[in-house]
Amino acid sequence: MKANKSISLFALVAVILALVVLARSSSSSNASNAAQWSVQVVKVDAGDVNLSPSFQIAIYENLLGELNKTKQFKQVLRDGDRNAGDVSNLLILKTTVQKYTAGSETRRAVTTVSGATKLTVKSQLCTRDGRIILDHTVDGNVRFMGDNFKATHNLARNVAKTIKQSSLPEPSAVAPSGQL
């Protein structure tokens, strides 16, 4: 009698697992059939802020990495990528630094109330013809432990999170200007 219960329980678990796998493969195939945006990340504009080129590059590289991690975009392209011209459903991410406060790792290590590195940027997702789809001001900082470049990572993570939490229009819903 115990063998029958074990076999029945095993069969029930196998059926449930098969249903879960089937549901996941069905939903992923539906998602892959739907049109998906690609994004091209433009080099970071320092604006009127005195920001070292290394910080600009760090923000840019961290943005590429964090946007890839979201899996929200079909492709994440670099500025100047020759393949971007052939990509349909392309958004362009423009990032302009608005504020920068240089911090001190030493002061952060000694006191937890001073020495923070802070960055504030304006991030815009635009279509090829310049229409703004998303416009947000995003902050990134390092307040306690970590080197100053940790602020660029935190900033990129916050930009990616903001984009992921936003409801972007379907690519087919954004017709090129003049075709509405």
Q: What is the pLDDT of residues 130-153, one digit of tens each?
A: 999 999 999 998 766 666 778 899
Most confidently modeled range among 16-20, 26-30, 31-35, 92-96 = 92-96
Mark whether 69 and 135 lie in a shared domain: yes
Count of domains in the chain? Answer: 2
The residue-averaged pLDDT of 62-69 equals: 97
Cβ-based burial of 67 (10 A; exposed 0-12, middle 13-18, buried ≥19): buried
Regarding whether 76 and 14 lie in a shared domain, the answer is no
Domain contains 20: yes
Neighbour-count burial for 161-172, b at 16+ CB within 10 Å, e otherwise: eebeeeebeebe
The residue segments making up the domain with residue 122 are 35-167
Residue 177 located in a structural domain:
no
pLDDT of residue 128: 93
Does a structural domain hold residue 108?
yes
Query: Do 6 and 62 reside in the same domain of the chain?
Result: no
Q: How confident is the model at residue 91 (pLDDT cuts 50, 70, 90)?
A: very high
Q: Convert 97-124 to b/e letters by CB count within 10 Å (16 or more is b).
A: beebeebeeeebeeeeeebbbbbbbebb
φ, ψ for residue 171, nearest 5 deg: -55, -35
Say what angle helices 53-70 and 150-165 make with each other, to 10 degrees: 40
pLDDT value for 113 = 60
In a domain, 50, yes or no: yes
Nearest to 98 by CA among 70, 119, 74, 128: 119
pLDDT tens sequence across 152-166: 999 999 999 999 999
Q: What mean pLDDT, rounded, does the chain reach?
A: 82
The enclosing domain of 106 has a CATH number of 3.40.50.10610
Structure confidence at residue 36 (pLDDT): 92
Same-domain status, 56 and 5: no
Domain match, 71 and 59 both:
yes
Same domain for 98 and 15, yes or no, is: no
Same domain for 103 and 54: yes
Q: Residues 65, 104: one domain? A: yes
Whether residue 44 is predicted with pLDDT greater than 90 in this model: the reply is yes
* pLDDT confidence of residue 141: 82
Q: pLDDT tens for residues 104-134?
A: 767 656 666 667 788 999 999 999 999 999 9
